[in-house]
Amino acid sequence: MPKFFLHVANSAGFAQDREGADYADLDGARREAVRSIRSILAEELKQGGTVDLRGRVEIADEGGMLIASVEFPSAVRVVEPE
Amino acid sequence: MDIHLKRLRARFEISAEEEAFIRALPDRTETYRADQTAVRTGQPLTHSTVLLEGVMARHRDLSSGTRQVTEIHVPGDFTDLHGFTLKRLDHDVVALSACKVALIPHERLWRMMEEQPRLTRIYWFGTNLDAAVHREWVVSMGRRQGMARMAHLFCEMYIRLGLVGLVDGGRYELPLSQLELGECLGMTAVHANRTLQQLRDSGTVEFREGTVSVCDFQALADIADFRPDYLYLKPPPL
């Protein structure tokens, strides 16, 4: 299983993933990125009442090469009142 | 069993006779490699396990594929004394690092109950203490926000490892991956890493490659709203 590193960049700063983890494939890493974005946004919303969608999870391969990026807005669906 | 006696003696006096009895409890030792399951949910139990070296965890796996760790065990702990009465567990026990354990046959615990009422009370205290730790984890999972929840875990491990002499200059070994840390705290590995970054930025604690460095325990305890009362560090004599 390939190893990927998932770094988080948003207005709170940059959290570098030094450890990485094994995923079935890049799609598996993308799904983890989406779950993590939702988890982080939920936490921020509970803490401060703000949903700040300016952020992304960067996915790097074992060599440190950036191979994909998952933007925060792509992980959530916002339904506003009419 | 030295480390187990050290853990007991952190809270209670243990006589030479009681020590001899405790030392004669195990019938063998066993080793596990990291990620190896020591006790499986539902498996019939004839022994209880004392952790001598390494770190183990109690956990439940859900059908969604997610795992919740419900307690971390450090050297000196009984990982499944409750298995003596329950005869099976409602959770797995897994080695998080290479581990060495001592296995105690349940019939010897039975004999202890008949011959050593004071030790029986001390081990009863032990399972009650386990329950107190579980309650505090429930409070964390339900009410503490991410940073406080993680800070609380680092505070608890600092105190529990300190009792058995495994904290050195504010540093201790906690051989967990980010994924496993997240499984203790109900977070994804990525969320756990980001929370670690926030704690690092606060200047209170660092966690890198399985080593926790506590820079400012009081400030970390303040973030966590950590009060060690639930660890019953100075219980009245039993």
pLDDT per residue as tens digits for the range B51-85? 999 999 999 999 988 899 999 999 999 999 999 99
Positive/negative CA dihedral, B114, B116, B118, B121: negative
**Chain B positions touching chain A (beta carbons under 8 Å):** 145-146, 177-179, 187-191, 193-194, 196-198, 201, 208
Residues of B in contact with A8 (CB under 8 A): 190, 193-194
Beta-bridge partner residues of B28: B103
Beta-bridge partner residues of B58: B71, B93
Residues of B in contact with A46 (CB under 8 A): 145
Are the C-beta atoms of residues B24 and B7 closer than 8 Å to each other? no
Beta strands in chain B (DSSP E): 28-32, 37-39, 47-53, 56-61, 67-73, 92-95, 99-105, 171-173, 205-208, 211-214
Q: Structure pTM?
A: 0.93
Return d(Cα B97, Cα B34) in angstroms, integer. Answer: 4
pLDDT, residue A48, reads 87
* Mean pLDDT score of chain B: 95
Per residue, what are the HEC states of B194-224?
Answer: HHHHHHHHCCCEEEECCEEEECCHHHHHHHH
Return d(Cα B197, Cα A48) in angstroms, integer. Answer: 18
Burial class (CB in 10 A: 0-12, 13-18, 19+), B209: exposed
pLDDT, residue A13, reads 86
- With a CB cutoff of 8 Å and minimum separation 6, the contacts of B181 are B150, B153, B187, B189, B192, B196, B207
CA distance, residue A36 to nearest chain B CA (Å): 6
Residues of A in contact with B189 (CB under 8 A): 6, 19, 21, 32, 36
Judged by CB atoms closer than 8 Å, whether chains meet at A43 and B193 is answered as no
Return d(Cα B108, Cα B24) in angstroms, integer. Answer: 9
pLDDT, residue A22, reads 92
ipTM for this prediction = 0.90
Judged by CB atoms closer than 8 Å, whether chains meet at B190 and A36 is answered as yes
Are the C-beta atoms of residues B134 and B55 closer than 8 Å to each other? no
Per DSSP bridges, beta strands B37-39 and B92-95 are antiparallel
Q: At residue A12, does pLDDT exceed 90?
A: no
Return d(Cα B74, Cα B80) in angstroms, integer. Answer: 13
Q: Cα–Cα–Cα angle for B52, B56, B59, nearest 5°?
A: 150
Encode chain B (238 residues) as per-residue pLDDT tens digits: 999 999 999 999 999 999 999 999 999 999 999 999 999 999 999 999 999 999 999 999 999 888 999 999 999 999 999 999 999 999 999 999 999 999 999 999 999 999 999 999 999 999 999 999 999 999 999 999 999 999 999 999 999 999 999 999 999 999 999 999 999 999 999 999 999 999 999 999 999 989 999 999 999 999 999 999 999 999 999 9
Q: Among residues of chain B, what percentage have pLDDT more than 90?
A: 97
Nearest to A6 among B145, B190, B197 (CB): B190
Count the alpha carbons within 13 Å of B41 in the hemisphere toward its beta carbon: 8
Positive/negative CA dihedral, A29, A30, A31, A33: positive
Return d(Cα B72, Cα B65) in angstroms, integer. Answer: 20
pLDDT, residue B65, reads 85
pLDDT digits (tens, 9 = 90+) for A34-67: 999 999 999 999 888 999 999 999 999 999 999 9
pLDDT, residue A47, reads 86
Other C-beta atoms lying within 10 Å of the C-beta of residue B29: 13
